[in-house]
């Protein structure tokens, strides 16, 4: 899933690899997917993009944005896999969006469980997009301890720390994937209630959010996710599906995987006491 570290990496790769290329053809929704989201009719993507040049990119929260002439922008988020193909590379037959460029290279988007590929102009910014783009996010200077403390104060104190960090777009870009290492580094169980945290633990959680995300972003994303060249990110996750059978990297005890809030959580019961 695209979360903050991956969106940053996607945007960097978009600008380095695609800037200046002109779109020659677009095929949208070739392999229909119930949970592949488009803006408007996907059949109209070709008419809007053909002949347009890539001008830039951006990232905010869990969204990566590819920018074109005439203020068009393609926004990808959630479980969209984005791959870049050279002229001689074999192309996958199934996909939800295929953008071909004038140099015969391609960008192909495919959806796993669910994901969005929204083609917008500057007047078409929906609520989810606006929340991700304009809210203060980790790694920005404005995301300081006072801001984080006020987020906690403004939330129901009966929320679990996972619900606090990962729901209602309080902090765009934080999802179930990055939270595993954030909580592990903070030595906080993901089911802990906000009202049980001491001031010191709140500070530790803030520091873990900023420092863990900074490390993930500097590594080009997590090793559980791939970039546009099909290469896994360089940040080695401590707790994830890849490490679920490994012992705790701190105490050597067994790591627990448990279903919680619509996804799996991973934690060490010795290091992250409930």
Rg (CA), the chain: 20
The low-confidence residues of the chain, meaning pLDDT below 50, are none
Render the burial of 32-48: b for 16+ CB within 10 Å, e for the rest.
ebeebbbbeebeebbeb
Q: What is the pLDDT of residue 133?
A: 86
Q: Where are the domains of the chain?
A: 4-134, 145-267
Render the burial of 237-258: b for 16+ CB within 10 Å, e for the rest.
bbbbeebeeeebeeeeeebeee
| Domain 4-134 matches domain 145-267 at the CATH topology level | no
Kindly state the DSSP code that residue 160 receives in the 8-state scheme: B
Return the structure tokens found at 231.
């290469």
Q: What is the pLDDT of residue 125?
A: 66
Return the structure tokens found at 44.
């109209």
**For all residues of the chain together, what is the average pLDDT?**
95
Q: What is the pLDDT of residue 91?
A: 96
pTM score over 0.85 = yes
**In CATH, what class is 4-134?**
alpha beta
- CATH number (3.30.40.10, 3.90.79.10, 1.10.8.50, 2.102.10.10) of 145-267 reads 1.10.8.50
* Cβ neighbourhood burial of 19 (10 Å; 0-12, 13-18, 19+): middle
Render the burial of 145-184: b for 16+ CB within 10 Å, e for the rest.
eeebeebbeeeeeebbbbbbbbeebbbbbbbbbbbbbbbb
Unique residue bearing structure tokens 């391609």: 106
Q: What is the largest CA-CA distance in the chain?
A: 58
Strand partners, 260: 263
Q: Is the separation of the CB atoms in 25 and 46 below 8 Å?
A: yes
Q: How many CA atoms lie within 13 A of 120 on its CB side?
A: 18
**Taking the CB of residue 191, how many other CB atoms lie within 10 A of it?**
17
């Amino acid at each position: 899933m695209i979360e903050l570290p991956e969106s940053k990496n996607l945007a960097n790769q978009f600008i380095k690899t695609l800037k200046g290329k002109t779109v020659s053809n677009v095929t949208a929704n070739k392999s229909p997917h119930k949970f592949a989201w488009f803006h408007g009719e996907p059949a109209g993507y070709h008419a809007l993009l053909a002949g347009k040049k890539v001008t830039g990119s951006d990232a905010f929260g869990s969204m990566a944005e590819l920018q074109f002439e005439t203020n068009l922008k393609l926004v990808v988020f959630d479980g969209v896999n984005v791959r870049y193909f050279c002229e001689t590379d074999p192309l996958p037959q199934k996909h939800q969006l295929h953008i071909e460029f004038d140099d015969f290279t391609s960008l192909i988007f495919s959806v796993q469980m669910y994901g969005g590929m929204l083609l917008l102009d500057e007047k078409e910014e929906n609520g989810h997009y606006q929340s991700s783009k304009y809210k203060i996010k980790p790694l920005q200077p404005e995301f300081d301890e006072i801001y984080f403390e006020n987020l906690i104060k403004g939330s129901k104190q009966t929320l679990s720390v996972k619900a606090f960090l990962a729901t209602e777009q309080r902090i765009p870009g934080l999802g179930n994937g990055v939270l595993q290492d954030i909580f592990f580094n903070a030595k906080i169980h993901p089911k802990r209630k906000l009202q049980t945290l001491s001031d010191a633990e709140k500070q530790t959680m803030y520091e873990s959010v900023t420092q863990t995300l900074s490390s993930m972003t500097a590594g080009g994303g997590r090793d559980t996710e791939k970039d546009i060249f099909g290469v896994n990110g360089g940040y080695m996750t401590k707790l994830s599906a890849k490490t679920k059978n490994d012992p705790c990297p701190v105490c050597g005890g067994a790591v627990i995987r448990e279903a919680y809030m619509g996804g799996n959580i991973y934690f060490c019961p010795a290091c992250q006491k409930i």
